[in-house]
Chain A
Amino acid sequence: MADDVSRIALDGEITIYRAADLKTTVLDALRKTRVLEIDLSGVTELDTAGLQVLMLAKQTAAADQRELRLLQHSPAVVEIFEMLDLVAFFGDAVLIHA
């Protein structure tokens, strides 16, 4: 297991249509590294299913002693996080758009 930081980017619609694929992508990436950074700047839409995948990744990371950081939240992501008061749950710095 590499001790470095790796980064992936998600873009487009993070929705139910892609949720199953995204789950695999994110968890696979998470397993290969200690710290995974996900760039969300290209996300145009986030729905409940997409959000769940991110939450799952966060919980899995915590359980495995790894770290998940979300970066560059796009407006669509910020809106959902704000609305559901999830900023604290993820613990990343957001509000860069405000």
Chain B
Amino acid sequence: MNLDEALQTFIAESRELLEEMENALLNVDLAGDQSEAINAIFRAAHTIKGSSGLFSLDHIVAFTHVVESLLDKVRDGSITLNDEMVVLLLSCCDYLSGMVDGLAAGQLEQDPDTAPEGEMLQQQLRRHMDGDAAPAAAAIPALHAEPSVERIDTERGDSDYWHISLRFGRVVLQNGMDPIAFLRYLAKLGRIVGIATVPDAIPPAEEMDAELCYLGFEIAFDSTADREAIAGVFEFVQEDCEIRIIPPHSKVSEYVNLIRALPEQAARLGEILVRCGSVTQQELDGALHQQSHKEEDAPAQQLGSILVGAGNVPPVVVEAALAKQKQVSEQKAQESRSIRVDSDKLDKLIDLVGELIIAGARANMIGQHIQNTELLECTSTLTGLVEDVRDAALELRMVKIGATFNRFQRVVHDVARELGKDIGLIVDGEDSELDKTVVEKIGDPLMHLVRNAMDHGIEPAEVRVAAGKSAKGMIKLNAFHESGSIVIEVSDDGGGLRKEKILAKAVERGLVDPERKLTDSEIYNLIFEAGFSTAEKITNLSGRGVGMDVVKRNIQALRGSVDVSSREGQGTTVTVRLPLTLAIIDGFLVQVGSSVFVVPLDMIEECIEYATEPGQDYTNLRGQVLPLVRLREQFRIGGTATRRESIVVLKFGNHRAGMVVDTLLGEFQTVIKPLSPMFSEVKCISGSTILGSGEVALILDVAALMHTVGGKGAVAQAA
């Protein structure tokens, strides 16, 4: 992997980490247990710092270092996280994202334009560190003074403690890691009973580089934590640090083993171990003697097996070691289970699958034409396989909507602050999957809907309280699958839409005829009309001229639809319906005259025989009125209807309509080909596809067709 590729990986990873960091920050429970969130934040900052060091991105290293230092203090408890700091850290997240974006754009140096912002943030970070750290540091010596005297005398020789041997690598300081900080963190897991600082590796003054780390520590540690937890403390330095952990109740030979493994002289080390209280002088002497004796007898035998054979290693230790090993291998398996693939490659695959489907359809048609049974059997198997390949390929592009939803935590947090309202976000259905392209494109419209709901939907706290609601407003994002579409709901528990106001505005703008009677739902949906804004005053957030009409257009461009419902005083729900995929669908072929159309199969409820009174635009479907769309009239297709027309019953959202066609041709795997921009104004057609015969069939836009029926219905009512 060359450096350029590595840099791309770094950028992608950093973005993920920053996202994680942001989520952790937003979810941090200021009152309760925050250790997990803080660890997550620290890990993100730390990893970014480490990796950017690899690429000599000094400006990022410098900035993350400050962030990390503050987090470190939060982690070891000398500073408590407060609301103000969360906001500051979020800004730092943004600033880092900015730097990463700059990096993606090829900017390897600090951008002079943003440098002052970085400076300011760093200053604020330092202020938090200094402001809160000083009194805490002063308090610690007083607390520690007493036990420090007694710990060595009274508890020496008692081996109920863990023994941790640390030799820090030379480079840890340069990597921005401070061994002392790790020891502080270690002390949170238990009690450091005895500690010996080993300075033996410090070279003579002339050779000593003050920026390298030469120190080692031998620690007797009293803790109920398990080995993993203790090793976890040193997770960030484990690569350039020698760590040996000996569990409590280990036999002295374990210590001998340790002594042999360490660079310092045995006698000196023995002294150190005795001093920090992990082992007594007597035990040590005995073991040293015993082992040297043993080695003479059986030099080939490994120390480990001697220990196990002699029952020197308690089963717990072995178990712990095995568990650790297992965990490592599982982790590896997990890593290799997912791979990163360029999305272009996936697109190419989907394209190929599309071509495969078309070619398969053609083979099938020829088989039917020449009526060769064997060939037909063969193509039928082939079709089944192609379908499976299609589903598998499409599944590759499916991503969970959760990541998109989680971004809104931040949006809601920030916007609520800006507006001075207390607003929370509830997210539901994060596991619903949809096509990656759709996910990417739905972000902006959703953003607008959420902002709109916060700005106009949720009332100010006083109004809410007066209305008997809780002062805290709630925005809810919900996603679920429904008949081949994904439905995303953005709802608020605010004041709801005011019908009269909307209607008055619409009449004023000339959007509707004042004489016309509109249903509630029609009135609400007026807010999606171009040039409509009920905002009395233009705020920073919404009402910037980018209206709900743009939202609607964007969603329609994805072959989706948007609908709004509202209850006055109780809130508003905007429902966005999107197709699961933009590439290949199961379609149903119908024919009118000589034209063939495709209807997405998921939207078809049933097909019935055409039967209605002449001149009527509706029919009776088991006692319910079913409005009809006549495709022949809709697209002005010439010729007369066949003797036996059929009705295809379509369902879209809560609406049903019947589509009158000449012939039903059956199911067909439809590879969606976009129409050229020239036809973008054509109503009721969303795309095209190629049939097995090589002919082009148009794909019907069911949502738009429904709309034509809705309009007719309204006219009929008014008349």
Q: Which residue of A lies closest to B138 (CB)?
A: A75
**What chain A residues lie within 8 Å of B204 (beta carbons)?**
60, 63
Q: A48-86: which have CB < 8 Å to B?
A: 48-49, 51-53, 55-56, 59-60, 63, 75-76, 78-80, 82-86
Task: Answer yes or no: B208 CB below 8 A from chain A CBs.
Answer: yes
Q: Which residue of B lies closest to A83 (CB)?
A: B183
When the two chains form their complex, are residues A19 and B211 in contact, meaning their CB atoms are under 8 A apart?
A: yes
CA distance A48 to B199 in the complex (A): 11
When the two chains form their complex, are residues A82 and B197 in contact, meaning their CB atoms are under 8 A apart?
A: no
Task: Answer yes or no: A10 CB below 8 A from chain B CBs.
Answer: no
Given the known interface contacts A75-B137, A75-B138, A89-B197, the answer about A82 and B145 at a Cβ–Cβ threshold of 8 Å is: yes
CA distance A27 to B208 in the complex (A): 11
Name, among A22, A55, A59, A79, the residue most crowded by chain B CB atoms within 10 Å (CB to CB): A79
**What chain A residues lie within 8 Å of B146 (beta carbons)?**
98
Given the known interface contacts A16-B173, A27-B205, the answer about A49 and B210 at a Cβ–Cβ threshold of 8 Å is: yes
Q: Which residue of B lies closest to A84 (CB)?
A: B197
A-B contact count (CB 8 A): 100
Chain A binding surface SS class: helix
The proximity string for B residues 194-223 relative to A, scoring 1 for CB distances below 8 Å and 0 otherwise, is 111101001011001111011101000000
**What chain B residues lie within 8 Å of A27 (beta carbons)?**
205
When the two chains form their complex, are residues A97 and B141 in contact, meaning their CB atoms are under 8 A apart?
A: yes
**What chain A residues lie within 8 Å of B211 (beta carbons)?**
16, 19-20, 49
CA distance A49 to B173 in the complex (A): 7
CB distance from B476 to the nearest CB of A (A): 47
**What chain A residues lie within 8 Å of B180 (beta carbons)?**
47-48, 51, 80, 83-84
**What chain A residues lie within 8 Å of B184 (beta carbons)?**
83
CA distance A27 to B276 in the complex (A): 30
Task: Answer yes or no: B337 CB below 8 A from chain A CBs.
Answer: no
Task: Answer yes or no: A33 CB below 8 A from chain B CBs.
Answer: no
When the two chains form their complex, are residues A79 and B214 in contact, meaning their CB atoms are under 8 A apart?
A: no
When the two chains form their complex, are residues A22 and B210 in contact, meaning their CB atoms are under 8 A apart?
A: yes
When the two chains form their complex, are residues B213 and A48 in contact, meaning their CB atoms are under 8 A apart?
A: yes
When the two chains form their complex, are residues A83 and B192 in contact, meaning their CB atoms are under 8 A apart?
A: yes
CA distance A22 to B210 in the complex (A): 9
CA distance A98 to B148 in the complex (A): 12
Q: Which residue of A lies closest to B144 (CB)?
A: A82
Task: Answer yes or no: A23 CB below 8 A from chain B CBs.
Answer: yes
**What chain B residues lie within 8 Å of A84 (beta carbons)?**
180, 183, 195, 197, 217
Question: Size band of the A side of the interface?
Answer: 20 to 34
CB distance from A97 to the nearest CB of B (A): 5
CB distance from B27 to the nearest CB of A (A): 31
CA distance A53 to B203 in the complex (A): 11
CB distance from B58 to the nearest CB of A (A): 14
Task: Answer yes or no: B178 CB below 8 A from chain A CBs.
Answer: yes
Given the known interface contacts A48-B179, A83-B183, the answer about A59 and B199 at a Cβ–Cβ threshold of 8 Å is: yes
CB distance from B686 to the nearest CB of A (A): 62
* CB-contact partner of B137 in A53, A56, A76, under 8 A: A76
**What chain B residues lie within 8 Å of A95 (beta carbons)?**
141, 145
Task: Answer yes or no: B134 CB below 8 A from chain A CBs.
Answer: yes
**What chain A residues lie within 8 Å of B202 (beta carbons)?**
52, 55-56, 59
Task: Answer yes or no: B140 CB below 8 A from chain A CBs.
Answer: yes
When the two chains form their complex, are residues B145 and A19 in contact, meaning their CB atoms are under 8 A apart?
A: no
CB distance from A51 to the nearest CB of B (A): 7
When the two chains form their complex, are residues B140 and A75 in contact, meaning their CB atoms are under 8 A apart?
A: yes
**What chain A residues lie within 8 Å of B152 (beta carbons)?**
85
The proximity string for A residues 16-46 relative to B, scoring 1 for CB distances below 8 Å and 0 otherwise, is 1001101100010000000000000000100
When the two chains form their complex, are residues B148 and A19 in contact, meaning their CB atoms are under 8 A apart?
A: no
Given the known interface contacts A27-B205, A98-B142, the answer about A79 and B137 at a Cβ–Cβ threshold of 8 Å is: yes
When the two chains form their complex, are residues A85 and B215 in contact, meaning their CB atoms are under 8 A apart?
A: no
CA distance A16 to B202 in the complex (A): 16
CA distance A11 to B702 in the complex (A): 76
CA distance A94 to B213 in the complex (A): 25
When the two chains form their complex, are residues B205 and A60 in contact, meaning their CB atoms are under 8 A apart?
A: yes
**What chain B residues lie within 8 Å of A52 (beta carbons)?**
199, 202, 208, 210, 213-215
When the two chains form their complex, are residues A85 and B194 in contact, meaning their CB atoms are under 8 A apart?
A: yes
**What chain B residues lie within 8 Å of A75 (beta carbons)?**
137-138, 140-141
CA distance A19 to B695 in the complex (A): 78
19 A–B contacts from the bound complex (CB under 8 Å): A16-B173, A23-B210, A44-B134, A47-B178, A48-B173, A48-B215, A49-B213, A52-B213, A55-B197, A56-B208, A76-B137, A82-B148, A83-B183, A84-B183, A84-B217, A85-B148, A86-B197, A89-B199, A98-B146
User: 18 other contacts beyond A83-B184, A97-B138, A98-B145, with CB at 8 A cut-off?
Assistant: A19-B210, A20-B209, A47-B178, A48-B173, A48-B215, A52-B214, A52-B215, A53-B210, A55-B215, A56-B205, A59-B202, A79-B144, A80-B180, A83-B144, A83-B187, A84-B197, A85-B197, A97-B141
7 A-B pairs with the lowest CB-CB distances in the bound complex, closest first: A98-B145, A19-B210, A23-B210, A78-B141, A75-B138, A20-B210, A84-B197
